[in-house]
Structure 1
């Protein structure tokens, strides 16, 4: 290869591909966003339809490695249908804070659970020849100023908590791709962090795949190449191309280093089959029955039954009041780069109608839970201008189906510069009710909204950076308009691009809505009072749980707490169905009969939820994240802003290794619901613990065997969990740490022996000064049960010598 050819494959050609090298017959490598589906090369909005799978935290709640491997294999089919070779997934950052906007996309607060699930996902994906790209390496546990923030994390915490999923992905799953995070790590961008990308990843772990930047997440030429970043994305090249050629010629990058990066890229291309893939790029929407069935099954297995005083499963003859903002809206995914255009969306209302019949159901919305005004929908005309002043004649006219756009890479059939254009959107709106409506607009760019020619919302004149569109957009600007029911109004949205901070995109969203009020809650109360059971569907949506924006807290948005309290007072058989990307405060917990957390379970959401509510499927989930009583109980909550959300460019991981349940144990604090907790429609016991520690002294290996019995009247599943405690350590350690688990499904009355295996790392902590893992002499306690707070079986084992393990 010539120098120019080598350099060409070290940066993207466009947003989703690496260029071919025609002279040598090297094909084009294509990637696509995941992790809960394969979107293909389209925008975050619209595009070719794809299967929408459960989000990461829902996968985490299954605690089922075999199921996750099935999902990985199915996602490989989806990637192939989009003509791509790699999926930008899985996301394995740790749930450090309950307010991280991207927790929905990640598996757990616990590194071991995250790591085991990631291994299953990667094996399923790569077993079908599709490359995994585990992300974001490392320290991206918040979305606040994430493209510039420095995560200040000590090495022991990195090794014991944040690096574990990546280490397992390399050593146990053989991942072919790693994506660097946007943030700095201890002052240095991860995309040019030599210790992270070379010392740890390649030299210590033996990684031979590629490291790619997150989109626009690399900031230098020689520094990134020399540190170990193989691929700059997206294209066209910004800090590579001619700049890299010049750096090689000047000696800033050696020929040997360049060849290492090129070899890694060629090895990847060979693994995923792109090296000799010269087929025309095509994207298909393959709505497969087997994927539908898998998504539905996984959605039910992810549901966590937190409380059940006999109201579930619903009795077939029950009259059911279906209430709440998430009842008739299918909340199937979070926001950000995980978004895709799903084949379809099944709402809980539709799922219950299919199973119970509409005659048994009544409905009231009660209140809203939107972060922004409800999106304006309907066919709209879009005029594009090849300037930023809406001047002259439009160079292209298109249509869209709602008042939102996410323009990136290729706009208006290529007739405008995607970073320098303007657009005018023309729509109509016919309100159902008369009243003072709220008109909202937020944009990555300048935008205005006119209703019948009158300026109503202005995000142009005084545009200010906010927390939308990956922190490239402003916060929503809201105006009001008095509108009459049944009358049609002209709505015009004017948009122009502006200079971007990090991500080169243009976007807007516009909504119009009539605020909910007391009358809506009163109607919900009447509906509940006239039913046998009231099922309240509440929570958040992808506007709240989204990449690019953390949550302000974990209170339910809007008047949802008030709605639940009012409904529970009206009907003693109140069931609460939560859909969120993490925990919420539950001030009404003692007033309701049932709480079930169903996350964002993908396109089959309503069917999966209805399966759980009616009992046709078991709620098989267990919490992958501790649910605190209040946000202030969380380990990242602090009066010191540098601890969270960050101050002057730094966020300090002050809690160290005491993340999640480790924190609550340390303080002796009882959470609302503990890590690993979940009920079912049957009961289980674990008994007869036996431990084989004959190899413990020699190599650190131990096995623990228990008998699991379904003591209830129907089939079901549980998760047997094993935690290790170091009775006396020379260094501070958590009271216990998850080190093994097994998902077990049994028929009523059935028993089975389950063996859990521990290796030396299960007992070790990291010694920063000595740069090794250490198993100390002394006693270790094994604790086994069905949640971090329910561990009835214990056994103590002893070492008489220390054991040092390499990194």
Structure 2
């Protein structure tokens, strides 16, 4: 059975004729092709039933007359968000209950259900591990299956344009290639359990502040090469079954009403056959949304297709029956894929040891060691610790749809240290001023810092540490040479006013429920430091291209009237209030720093290990789809370690401007001390392309390309060249 099927009007009508004379109910026959089953079921439905598939909230649609249960959605990208108090549910079977905030929430059999709180998306990207990303998503696939839910509203694959982005912790960093690789793995890991992935927030929804009123402005090449690129890869290579429109506008039109994006780009050019649904308040008008290509209005904007609005538009001829069939047909295909039409799916598991182990592994593998004077870390024989800082007993998570219910399994650094070393070995001082000279005699002085709590609906006002943390770190650094700063954060943090004086510094991100145990593992040498930065880190916000100024960051105001005070009311008018001008073009993240000659304090891709590596000679050989790149990696230290090898491409002569270095490959290799192994990466021809606007195609231009290989965007000791003899064009990147 084919995984992806484009449902067009012609296919539907032709198939309907073919099955009309058949006996029984072909839509229940799992041996038939999906198109035939969907067409048969669609032909048995009334107009009202078709419309009923196209709106809802966390529980949507269903066809009660035919015994088809509703489609159940769930947040979020870093773990499944449940009802505020799951103990309220006492039934041993699936039950719907109003959560008190207008949202209907569904939960499975376990009356004390608790889902796995995974590390944030930025932490996952810091692992640089496609296989682990697939396992990460599989955790949620298993738990969604156990809870009887069908579509996870994830992954979030917007780009990190600025360290003040409120939802940076959910996303996969600043680079389109790394984001795309994580997205593809995430989709595959989730959907192998029959749970639909939902790529969000399409597209260029990088601003949280004023997100409902902000229009992204960029040229078509920037759209295709940077901001749409992860979505396209998630669809073409990942096979995503659904996609969510952002709350923003694009080129002056709200995305949910943007025909050029939803139909021309997604449907016609990329061939997306899945469901396009709204964010909880991203749609406004029935006719404009339906004609643009929107399939479902959900959440606070479910009224756009609900409350008789879509049905009235169809009955009045404003929306054709054929358009309704296309919308409902795509929703039914999603029903089929997630098992609502009788297909057998893999079993799930809730809060299992396997799921907990993945959470701990991701937390451990994501830790990025940025400083380590005198090889202070790790300390295998660690016996005593002085613990300071506001995050010592905190597990920092984001807010909004990315929040995972807090559970008893959350392990802070303090809790993990007490469990490992015992109560008498850990001294915790709430205030740095309270620390004594005797306290400072501990094996390690650990300051637990945080960057505040990011989340949905607002961007951060700063990129520095809040409160007195910087001053506290400086004060400790003046009194000890064993100071380790452990930073929980969901974005790049400006470290310029405190990191020079510290002895060791590790970024542990928003590490999920097991992050405390993972940190103690790293401090005591139970695992290597394998994390690498998915973003430029440590620079002041003024170094980024969209630094801006004032309260209207990151967009300029173009609407002089008052903005609506109710972001979620259905009578709220559409307003184009701000323009976010993507003037940096193709120079996102590290590309900007490299092109402008701005030193990266801690470069993209960087991270220290317990050991050291040397990249030796490399070779490049042609293969069927492109080239195979092989680089020798030697462990020059005394312990084994994991080296993350990165491949960047430079087009020496091009008819269009291109960044001087673009990430186009990576792999991880484990190397024993004194040994040499080989890192092999496959480079597809498509990876050398740029988007040719005039041809509406991806162009591989004749010429010479340099392949730079190293361990960060600024440390690339190995170089090779490939020659392309003639121009080539591709449909997909």
Under TM normalisation by the shorter chain, which class is it? 0.7 to 0.9
Distance of 1:113 and 1:593 partners within structure 2:
30
The residue matched to 2:587 in structure 1 has which SS?
A: coil
Distance of 1:734 and 1:802 partners within structure 2:
19
Q: CA deviation at 1:41?
A: 5.0
Which of 228, 250, 264 aligns to 2:330? It is: 264
Residue 451 of structure 2 is aligned to residue 540 of structure 1: yes
Counterpart residue number, 2:473 = 564
The residue matched to 1:570 in structure 2 has which SS?
A: coil
Q: 1:767 to 1:746 in 2, by over 3 A?
A: same
Q: 1:640 to 1:767 in 2, by over 3 A?
A: farther
Residue 50 of structure 2 is aligned to residue 6 of structure 1: yes
Question: Are the counterparts in 2 of residues 335 and 546 from structure 1 also a CA contact under 8 Å?
Answer: yes
Question: Are the counterparts in 1 of residues 142 and 350 from structure 2 also a CA contact under 8 Å?
Answer: no
Q: CA deviation at 1:643?
A: 7.5
Distance of 1:694 and 1:297 partners within structure 2:
34
Distance of 1:230 and 1:317 partners within structure 2:
57
Which of 209, 218, 221 aligns to 1:153? It is: 218
Counterpart residue number, 2:288 = 223
Counterpart residue number, 2:109 = none
Distance of 1:747 and 1:646 partners within structure 2:
53
Question: Are the counterparts in 1 of residues 281 and 300 from structure 2 also a CA contact under 8 Å?
Answer: no
Residue 620 of structure 2 is aligned to residue 555 of structure 1: no
Distance of 2:63 and 2:359 partners within structure 1:
39
Cα-to-partner distance string for 1:497-541 (whole Å, 9 max, x where unaligned): xxxxxxxxxxxxxxxxxxxxxxxx321365653434211000124
Distance of 1:315 and 1:26 partners within structure 2:
57
Question: Are the counterparts in 2 of residues 76 and 125 from structure 1 also a CA contact under 8 Å?
Answer: yes
Q: Gaps (5+ residues) in structure 2?
A: 1-44, 85-98, 106-111, 559-577
Distance of 1:32 and 1:285 partners within structure 2:
16
The within-5 A match list for 1:463-482 is: none
The within-5 A match list for 1:17-32 is: 17-32=59-74
Distance of 1:203 and 1:773 partners within structure 2:
16
Residue 412 of structure 2 is aligned to residue 363 of structure 1: no
Counterpart residue number, 1:800 = 725
The residue matched to 1:5 in structure 2 has which SS?
A: helix
The residue matched to 1:353 in structure 2 has which SS?
A: helix
Counterpart residue number, 2:492 = 583
Question: Are the counterparts in 2 of residues 364 and 527 from structure 1 also a CA contact under 8 Å?
Answer: no
Which of 442, 448, 453 aligns to 1:531? It is: 442
Residue 433 of structure 2 is aligned to residue 522 of structure 1: yes
Q: 1:694 to 1:292 in 2, by over 3 A?
A: closer
Q: CA deviation at 1:599?
A: 0.4
The within-5 A match list for 1:501-520 is: none
Residue 612 of structure 2 is aligned to residue 683 of structure 1: yes
The residue matched to 1:23 in structure 2 has which SS?
A: helix
Q: 1:335 to 1:643 in 2, by over 3 A?
A: closer
Question: Are the counterparts in 2 of residues 525 and 570 from structure 1 also a CA contact under 8 Å?
Answer: no
Distance of 1:781 and 1:799 partners within structure 2:
11
Q: Gaps (5+ residues) in structure 1?
A: 279-283, 367-520
Q: CA deviation at 1:711?
A: 2.5
Counterpart residue number, 1:298 = 362
Counterpart residue number, 1:598 = 508
Q: CA deviation at 1:681?
A: 0.8
Q: 1:644 to 1:735 in 2, by over 3 A?
A: same
Distance of 2:551 and 2:617 partners within structure 1:
49
Cα-to-partner distance string for 1:148-205 (whole Å, 9 max, x where unaligned): 2111122111111001111111110100111111101111111111111111111111
The within-5 A match list for 1:376-775 is: 521-524=432-435, 526=437, 528-541=439-452, 544-586=453-495, 587-638=497-548, 644-648=554-558, 649-693=578-622, 701-775=626-700
Question: Are the counterparts in 2 of residues 56 and 106 from structure 1 also a CA contact under 8 Å?
Answer: yes
Q: CA deviation at 1:88?
A: 0.6
Question: Are the counterparts in 1 of residues 537 and 602 from structure 2 also a CA contact under 8 Å?
Answer: yes
Distance of 2:550 and 2:654 partners within structure 1:
29
Q: CA deviation at 1:349?
A: 0.8
The residue matched to 1:337 in structure 2 has which SS?
A: helix
Distance of 1:551 and 1:234 partners within structure 2:
25
Residue 78 of structure 2 is aligned to residue 36 of structure 1: yes
Cα-to-partner distance string for 1:7-56 (whole Å, 9 max, x where unaligned): 011001xx311122111222111011011111245569999532101110
Cα-to-partner distance string for 1:661-710 (whole Å, 9 max, x where unaligned): 11001111111100000011112222220011476xxx7x1221112232
**Aligned-residue CA RMSD (Å):** 2.2
Q: TM-score, normalised by structure 1?
A: 0.76
Q: CA deviation at 1:804?
A: 2.2
Counterpart residue number, 2:278 = 213
Q: CA deviation at 1:315?
A: 4.6
The within-5 A match list for 1:53-64 is: 53-64=118-129
Cα-to-partner distance string for 1:281-304 (whole Å, 9 max, x where unaligned): xxx993311111111111000000
Question: Are the counterparts in 2 of residues 704 and 757 from structure 1 also a CA contact under 8 Å?
Answer: yes
Distance of 1:585 and 1:318 partners within structure 2:
32
Residue 176 of structure 2 is aligned to residue 133 of structure 1: no
Question: Are the counterparts in 1 of residues 54 and 61 from structure 2 also a CA contact under 8 Å?
Answer: no
Cα-to-partner distance string for 1:464-488 (whole Å, 9 max, x where unaligned): xxxxxxxxxxxxxxxxxxxxxxxxx
Distance of 1:525 and 1:556 partners within structure 2:
24
Q: CA deviation at 1:652?
A: 0.9
Which of 319, 337, 341 aligns to 2:401? It is: 337
Counterpart residue number, 1:414 = none
Which of 302, 311, 327 aligns to 1:245? It is: 311
Distance of 2:386 and 2:550 partners within structure 1:
45
Distance of 2:351 and 2:134 partners within structure 1:
20
Question: Are the counterparts in 2 of residues 50 and 286 from structure 1 also a CA contact under 8 Å?
Answer: yes
Q: TM-score, normalised by structure 2?
A: 0.84
Distance of 1:539 and 1:44 partners within structure 2:
32
Counterpart residue number, 1:393 = none
Cα-to-partner distance string for 1:428-472 (whole Å, 9 max, x where unaligned): xxxxxxxxxxxxxxxxxxxxxxxxxxxxxxxxxxxxxxxxxxxxx
Counterpart residue number, 2:154 = 89
Distance of 1:69 and 1:601 partners within structure 2:
17
The residue matched to 2:297 in structure 1 has which SS?
A: coil
Q: CA deviation at 1:771?
A: 1.8
Question: Are the counterparts in 1 of residues 117 and 404 from structure 2 also a CA contact under 8 Å?
Answer: yes
Distance of 1:317 and 1:738 partners within structure 2:
39
Cα-to-partner distance string for 1:307-342 (whole Å, 9 max, x where unaligned): 1112111252543211111112222x2111111213
Counterpart residue number, 1:313 = 378
Q: CA deviation at 1:60?
A: 0.6
* Higher share of residues assigned strand: 1
Distance of 1:622 and 1:307 partners within structure 2:
13
Distance of 2:372 and 2:49 partners within structure 1:
63
The residue matched to 2:298 in structure 1 has which SS?
A: coil
Distance of 1:643 and 1:152 partners within structure 2:
15
The residue matched to 1:706 in structure 2 has which SS?
A: strand
